[in-house]
Structure 1
Amino acid sequence: MARHLYHAPAECPVCGDALITTRKGCLHCGTEIAGEFASCEFCVLSEADLTLLKVFLASRGNLREVEKHLQVSYPTARARLDAVLGRLGLDQSEQTEQQAEPSDASDGEEKVAEPSGDPATDQILARVASGEISPEVAAQLLG
């Protein structure tokens, strides 16, 4: 029988400082190791944040697709992604300056990747957005 594993908190409930991992264990054989292990940079994200990020990645960075699959407006999808980027410590203004090319500033309009046009991909992403399947299952189906 598979155990449900909970998402570990990233911050100390007492002082608010970052937590580190001090024990790791194998569910199969029971082996345990102890020490001071760094957390991954994505450990600060909630399950909802991770789901948004996975849908964003599965849609190849197309916010219009994220908007459709999460059934929210474009500004809401953008705001949620910006919030996730903020929690990861990625400053949008620095990212935009580093990635912008001179021709990008001409119309001031955000560039959005074209949809894949693949109905099967769109259907899988819609199932993720509705909660019917997990992002992990979607990644396997899309892989």
Structure 2
Amino acid sequence: MGYKILTKCPVCNSKLKVTKLRCSCCNTIIENEFELSKFAYLSAEQLEFVEVFLRSRGNIKDVEKEMGISYPTVRSKLDDVILALGYSLNKKPKISNKEVLDMLEKGEISPEAALKAIKEGELLE
């Protein structure tokens, strides 16, 4: 009977490394320090979310429906997984009204984009 691999130390909660592999057919044993996938360190809840997200092909409405959660909760769970995998969240930088007006004056953005940026406080691409 196989057990789920432990990825966190039960004493200090740091990441564990695999150091021994055994073939279940011929019993060959290989010892070394092996890296686990980033996904191995996700919690059970995070893995469940990733599975639902992938099955839904990234369609947030489908994730909402299947998990019975709201749009903001889906976004929050997605952000949590992104951070757990070691990536940063690329939040759009805030932009001042003066910067927006300067860009509009130079013709770098359309009047519609300028209005939207002023209303929302960020410049959308």
**TM value normalised by structure 2:** 0.64
Match of 2:87 among 71, 78, 90: 90
Task: Measure, in 2, the Cα distance between the counterparts of 1:63 and 1:34.
Answer: 43
User: How many pairs were matched up?
Assistant: 98
Q: Does the residue aligned with 1:28 lie in a helix, a strand or coil?
A: coil
**Aligned pair 1:45/2:42, yes or no?**
yes
Give 2:14's aligned residue. 17
Task: Measure, in 2, the Cα distance between the counterparts of 1:27 and 1:61.
Answer: 36
Distance 1:28 1:47, change over 3 A: farther
Q: Does the residue aligned with 2:90 lie in a helix, a strand or coil?
A: helix
Runs (5+) with no aligned partner, structure 1: 109-143
Give 2:30's aligned residue. 33
Give 1:69's aligned residue. 66
Shift of 1:50: 1.3
Tell me the alpha carbon deviations over residues 7-54 of structure 1, each in whole angstroms, 9 at most, x when there is no partner: x23222333332110011223333321111111111111222112112
Shift of 1:57: 1.3
Shift of 1:4: 4.0
User: Greater CA radius of gyration, 1 or 2?
Assistant: 2
Task: Measure, in 1, the Cα distance between the counterparts of 2:82 and 2:44.
Answer: 15
Task: Return the letter of the residue paired with 1:71.
Answer: G
**TM value normalised by structure 1:** 0.57
51-60 or 12-21, which deviates more: 12-21
Identity of aligned residues (%): 38
